Amino acid sequence: MLLKSAAVSDQAVMPHPKTNHRYPDNVTGADHLFIIPLGGVCEIGKNMTVYEQGDDILLVDCGLMFPGEELLGVDVVIPDISYLLANQDKIRGIVLTHGHEDHIGALPYVLAQLKAPLWGARLTMGFVRGKLEEYGLWEQTESHVVTAGETVRIGSFEVEFIQVSHSIPDALGVAIHTRLGTVIQTSDFKLDPTPLDGRPTDKEAFRRHGDAGVLALLCDTTNVLKVERTKSEVTLTPVFEEIFREAEGRVVVATFASNINRIQQVISVAESFGRKVALAGRRMEENIKLAREMGYVSFDEGTLVPLGMIDQQPPNQVCVLTTGSQGEPLSALARMATDEHKKISIDPGDTVILSSTPIPGNEDSVYRVINNLCRLGAHVVYSDETPGVHVSGHGSRDEVFEMIALTKPRFLVPAHGEYRHVAGFTREAMKGGYREDEIILSEVGSIIEFNGETAEVVGSVPSSGSVMVDGIGVGDVGEVVLRDRRHLADEGVVIVSLALNQATGEVIAGPDISSRGFVLETETDDLFDRAREIVLREIADIEPDFTGEWSVVKTDVRRALNKFFKAETDRRPMVLPVVIEV
């Protein structure tokens, strides 16, 4: 029986579950299949999924996530791979679905700790090679280039690569053939009928698997709350043409450095209006160079000019492609917005296009950049004001449920979305005929077990969920460090230093008190004079024959000053006593 969801169009018919799939007759207890998401569920970013059967582990993707403002100073966030390190001997390989950072960005950190061969499409592996060479890992990593329609055996798994349309060329979904049946992981996809590269999602391949029987579908839910179908990439070209036609000064376009199709569109439109193109941002330069060498981007000789030479061109003959569409503080666009970029300044009359939508959590950063650009006199074009300036790489609700109709899975596993997306997906799936026990809701680290009859979350692997990368340190920034950073950011720090006679405890010098981020220095004289008296009282209470640890004295000083500053200022600065024994 086929049920139609009231909220889904006629094109996206929801199949009743268990239509086709049945477990093989010879299933035994040893044939249990486990799926363990180490990232990419109930969040957007750091995608990594573990498939485990018997003594074999297959990984799909190895991505990172950019930190929110609450993770002060953290550069990137990667999955916790403790479970993988404990089971290194089982790992047979890593399959990469496409070249976005949230799917490949954690590879240098992961491959520095464990070895695994890689499989991915040509452009994906090109990006991976550049990333691993930077870390000195490429030569020691086994890699394989695959194409859509190809099937490879990795351990006891057979993996078929299926062409999907996304915002980057060479994106692939995977059909993973296990002992219990076929699991399809869509990765990021949309059903764009007219993609720029002429390679739409291979719906016939998904339908073929659906007719044969699919055990489970791990489905992209990023845009499941959006009713209108995602627009085709080709709709952007006339929008860009209109903006370029009306622009009197330079045109600056910010987009993801890996959005190769969008980059090609911008360059082509710039050429049609006689504009030279300059690149801002190291990753933008590297990706365009690689994509051109591999034939994914083409443009006339002479179109590209060095960023430092754009002042030699008339403003109406210049286009700048830049990173920073997500408001990243150190990106090229953010530095332009604060007039701190060394090679380009934004002038009144310039047009700045943000061809993207903010990733959840980045909204404040993006709007801060937009406000700063407007303050400099730029005309800023962004998705809130001009929705047609960006199209998503993810399918809307109708496209998600058309994928379900094609594959007819017995079980649904929502992925690549936050809790609100998972909730919306579940609500619509149940309207379409799926029961609650046939929609498997998981979190990072959950163990989903398929046992021949049912599928359920049976526990979780030891995992912190995320590992923070700060500078060259991987995992050395934890909650305690972040709590201290938040404390310093919110309340400031007070440093108390004094020198004591090691034998008698007599104060030789000090106490000297200084602060940062607490109160204005002009307002501290009386406050700090009284604070010094408190410190001296604490020192005076030390017995003459004191032989204990000075850490105890520091704790007493810290406690007394915390109480004093709270009473006097209603603030709790971090108090750091420094005792020098002479």
Could you read off the pLDDT of 512-537 as tens digits, one per residue?
777 766 665 555 667 777 777 777 77
Of the two residues 97 and 478, the one the predictor is more confident about is 97
Q: Residue 18: pLDDT above 60? A: no
Predicted confidence at residue 387, as pLDDT, reads: 78
The candidate with the shortest Cα–Cα distance to 397, out of 520, 225, 581, is 225
Contacts of residue 476, defined as CB under 8 A and 6 or more positions apart, other chains included, come to 470
The two tokens of residue 519 are 């109160």
Contacts of residue 105, defined as CB under 8 A and 6 or more positions apart, other chains included, come to 62, 63, 64, 76, 78, 131
φ, ψ of residue 161 to 5 degrees: the values are: -95, 130
Span 113-140, pLDDT tens digits? 999 999 999 999 999 999 999 889 999 9
Q: Are 491 and 518 in contact (CB under 8 A)?
A: yes
Predicted confidence at residue 2, as pLDDT, reads: 30
Q: Where are the domains of the chain?
A: 2-21+32-229+393-447, 233-387, 479-581
Distance of CA 386 to the CA centre of its chain: 25
Q: Model's pTM, two decimal places?
A: 0.79
Q: What's the Cα-to-Cα distance from 257 to each of 99, 108, 358, 526, rounded to whole Å?
A: 11, 19, 15, 54
Q: Are 51 and 157 in contact (CB under 8 A)?
A: yes
Pairwise CA distance, residues 336 & 249, whole Å: 16
Predicted confidence at residue 371, as pLDDT, reads: 93
Hey, which residues does 475 pair with through a beta bridge? Answer: none
Q: Report the catalytic residues.
A: 220, 394
* Mean pLDDT to the nearest integer, 151-173: 96
* Same-fold call for 2-21+32-229+393-447 versus 233-387: no
Q: Residue 146: pLDDT above 90? A: yes
Span 342-370, pLDDT tens digits? 899 999 999 999 988 777 667 788 889 99
Hey, which residues does 500 pair with through a beta bridge? Answer: 507, 581
Q: Residue 395: pLDDT above 80? A: yes
pLDDT band at 172 (very low <50, low <70, confident <90, very high): very high
Average pLDDT, the chain: 83
Side-chain half-sphere of 184: how many Cα atoms within 13 Å?
32
Side-chain half-sphere of 343: how many Cα atoms within 13 Å?
15
Percent of the chain with pLDDT over 70: 81
Predicted confidence at residue 80, as pLDDT, reads: 87
CATH architecture classification, 233-387 = 3-Layer(aba) Sandwich (3.40)
Pairwise CA distance, residues 544 & 541, whole Å: 9
Pairwise CA distance, residues 313 & 553, whole Å: 67
The two tokens of residue 431 are 């309207």
* Mean pLDDT to the nearest integer, 95-101: 95
Q: How many CB atoms lie within 10 A of CB 347?
A: 12
Predicted confidence at residue 508, as pLDDT, reads: 65
Predicted confidence at residue 372, as pLDDT, reads: 92
Span 424-436, pLDDT tens digits? 999 999 998 999 9
Span 20-56, pLDDT tens digits? 555 555 444 457 899 999 998 888 888 999 999 999 9
Span 540-561, pLDDT tens digits? 666 555 555 566 667 777 777 7
Span 267-289, pLDDT tens digits? 999 999 999 999 998 889 999 99
Side-chain half-sphere of 143: how many Cα atoms within 13 Å?
22
Percent of the chain with pLDDT over 90: 55
* Mean pLDDT to the nearest integer, 189-212: 94
Q: Which fold has domain 479-581?
A: Ubiquitin-like (UB roll) (3.10.20)
φ, ψ of residue 533 to 5 degrees: the values are: -60, -40
Q: How many CB atoms lie within 10 A of CB 86?
A: 11
Predicted confidence at residue 470, as pLDDT, reads: 53
Q: Are 327 and 260 in contact (CB under 8 A)?
A: no
Listed ranges 140-149, 307-316, 535-544; the one with the highest mean pLDDT: 140-149
φ, ψ of residue 254 to 5 degrees: the values are: -105, 130
Please state whether 285 falls in left (phi above 0), alpha (psi between -120 and 50) or beta. Answer: alpha
> 2-21+32-229+393-447 has which CATH code?
3.60.15.10
